[in-house]
Amino acid sequence: MHKKLLILFLALGSQTAFSQTTVIRNPEIAQMVAAISSDSLEHHVRSLASFTSRHTLNTNAKDGMPAAQQYVLSKFNSFAKQSGGRMTAKIEQFTIPGDKRRIVEDSPGANVLATLKGTNPEDDRIFIVSGHMDSRNKDVMDAEGSAPGANDDGSGTAAVIELARVMASHEFSATILFVAFTGEEQGLKGATYMADKAKAEGWNLAAVLNNDIMGNSSSSETLIKDNLKLRVFSESIPIAETEQEANIRRYINAENDSKSRQLARYIKELGERYVDQLEVKLIYRSDRFLRGGDQTAFARNAFTAVRMSEMNENFLHQHENVRVEDGVQYGDLPEFMDFEYLRKVSAVNLASLASLANSPDQPKDVRIDVRGLSNKSTLLWKAPEIGKVAGYYVLMRETSEAMWERKFWTTETTLTLPYSKDNYFFAVQAVSESGAESLPVFPTPLSR
């Protein structure tokens, strides 16, 4: 009897162990992912860290922030030559308003950005991949003292530079902005400038992938060494939610389905599809305790934005003065980074961004029919106006699941499934002929 039970147990166990996942990779995206080089990333991190300080208020043109900005600009300009005139780069100067806190009085600030113009003139979407250039030491107001900022956020800035290099020679339907922000440590100043501008000028800003502290793989205190996991932070209830949106959200129970959460799931799916030996962890928070990031400047303006960060942080090497104390080296130095890990995390960005920028726009007016009691679910939507659509995926998951579990393919703009709308969540994404999926849209209720 016991033996029989054991055999049954083993049989069930092996069934689970051998369940298959089919991985289909777009060859062009796979080629771009393979082109990301840990050597280039390391070179950029070391170059950025070699400037004495990249503090936002540093003005040393030879050895400080202005010199570092020229470095990033020169990289963007050299990649632009491979783009057939589609990539342009600039340093965007602006005034950071004084706040009597970390910016005492009005001060000059500058973001460095490269624009890779989309090839479809009807596609006005913009996707941003970003990191912040500015660094700090223990005293956030010290604009002169050494602040190498190798990982915070030399890592994110290096990733942005490397993506610009690899993507410049490839074509995308939508426009991609590669941005090295300033003023993050002083209160998200550069990102706030761009997010406010995007809102005021009505940009069709479809998503922001922000990268901050993503090149270290070993933790302080707990001494975990693991370069197999990446965190993606996304807000649960949107910070910019209106009262009307809140009412709909409560009615359809979309607390786990903000636009930024859909982007986070998308990054997990695409990242794990293209990057081996890396698991993407969804973190249901907009950021960590006591810390912030540039994605929040965009979220405040109701844009879709997430933050990518390493899984295991080392607090001896963040916001610390470079020094040895009791035999322990403090400071944000390149020697504590893991460039193979940074390569994988950069590749997750690339795979997600490349797919998004060649996807059709999201389906419009996505609704779920809630007008009657039924054990089926009917979704209906309209075709997007941008991009050629081959068909749609209707996504489904149990209400307690983190990730979408099933994708139903259709070429129609409505689908009825024999699963109760009370027991599952659904979303719809548009798919291009080359298989690039749009961000999924969580439906609003069709109630009369």
Closest CA to 387 of 366, 370, 414, 363: 363
User: Judged by CB under 5 A, which stretch of 75-83, 148-156, 354-362, 381-389 contacts Zn ion?
Assistant: 148-156
Told to check if 42 binds Zn ion by CB under 5 A, we report: no
Minimum CB–partner distance for residue 3 and Zn ion (Å) = 58
Q: Which of 42, 153, 257, 313 binds Zn ion (CB under 5 A)?
A: 153
Cβ 383 to Zn ion, closest distance in Å?
40
Does 152 contact Zn ion by CB under 5 A? yes
Q: What letters, b where the CB count within 10 A reaches 16 and e where it falls short, cover 31-61? A: ebbebbebebbbebbbbbbebbbbbbbbebe
The stretch among 38-46, 151-159, 266-274, 315-323 that binds Zn ion (CB under 5 A) is 151-159
Least Å from the CB of residue 213 to Zn ion: 6
Q: Which is nearer to Zn ion, 118 or 293 (CB)?
A: 293
Give the number of residues in contact with Zn ion, rule: CB under 5 A.
Answer: 3
Of 153 and 338, the one with the shorter C-beta distance to Zn ion is: 153
**Taking CB under 5 A as the rule, which mask of x and - marks residues 62-91 in contact with Zn ion?**
------------------------------
Which lies closer to Zn ion via its Cβ, residue 153 or residue 257?
153
> How far apart, in whole angstroms, are the C-alpha atoms of residue 65 and residue 134?
7
Cβ-based nearer residue to Zn ion, 131 or 238: 131
User: Sign of the C-alpha dihedral, residues 388, 394, 397, 399?
Assistant: positive
Closest separation between CB of residue 140 and Zn ion, Å? 12
CA atoms 135, 140, 144, 145: torsion sign: negative
Distances (CA, A) of 426 to 8, 21, 47, 395, 420: 35, 21, 46, 5, 11
Q: Give the shortest CB-69-to-Zn ion separation in angstroms.
A: 17
Q: Report in angstroms how near the CB of residue 152 gets to Zn ion at its nearest.
A: 4
Which residue's CB is nearer to Zn ion, number 212 or number 257?
Answer: 212
The burial of 101, by beta-carbon neighbours within 10 Å (0-12 exposed, 13-18 middle, 19 or more buried), is given as exposed
Q: Report how far apart, in Å, the C-alpha atoms of 382 and of each of 173, 361, 414, 435 are.
A: 20, 11, 9, 19
Q: Does 162 bind Zn ion (CB under 5 A)?
A: no
Q: How far is the CB of 228 from Zn ion (least distance, A)?
A: 22
Per-residue binder mask for Zn ion (CB under 5 A), 201-230, x = binder: -----------x------------------
Residue number, 212 or 369, with CB nearest to Zn ion = 212
Residue 361 structure tokens: 């726009």
CA 80/CA 82 separation, integer angstroms? 5
When the beta carbons of 33 and 133 are compared against Zn ion, the nearer one is 133
Q: Is 336 exposed, middle or buried (0-12, 13-18, 19+ CB in 10 A)?
A: middle
352, two tokens = 């997600």
Burial category of 291 from C-beta neighbours within 10 Å (exposed 0-12, middle 13-18, buried 19 and up): middle
Shortest Cβ distance from residue 345 to Zn ion (Å)? 14
Residue written as token pair 């610009």: 164
Pick the closer one to Zn ion by CB: 149 or 360: 149
Footprint of Zn ion on this chain (CB under 5 A)? 152-153, 212
